[in-house]
Amino acid sequence: MIALLIVSLFITVISGLIVYAADQSLGPLAGVVSPSNEKFWEEAHEIAANLSLLLVIVHVLGVAFESVIHKENLVKSMWNGYKKPADNNPR
């Protein structure tokens, strides 16, 4: 999930910079990008942004689901870096 989030955010940022350069002639890609493909990049940026949002929602729901299933606070574990040791003693 983290790899997908990183890739989708990278595509969102790059397509956003391209749209900004094509539309406003500003940003780090100004002068490099021609405005002829602006519509394509606007669509690509919108799709990438929506995909990123969807992946974030699925990730948060997955963490909540796993926290309930395993009866542990995964958010707290991610925050402080400590996780309760597994109880491997069957009773």
Return mean pLDDT, the chain.
90
Given a cut of 80, whether residue 74 has pLDDT beyond it is yes
Question: pTM, whole model, 2 decimals?
Answer: 0.78
Given a cut of 70, whether residue 87 has pLDDT beyond it is no
**Which pLDDT belongs to residue 77?**
83
Kindly report, residue by residue over 45-55, the tens digit of the pLDDT: 999 999 999 99
Residues 71 and 87 sit within 8 Å (Cβ to Cβ): no
CA angle 7, 11, 12 (to 5 degrees): 115
Q: Could you give the 3-state DSSP secondary structure of residue 13? A: helix
**Which pLDDT belongs to residue 71?**
86
Could you count the other beta carbons within 10 Å of the beta carbon of residue 3?
Answer: 7
Residues 19 and 30 sit within 8 Å (Cβ to Cβ): no
Q: Identify the band that residue 79 occupies on the pLDDT scale cut at 50, 70 and 90.
A: confident
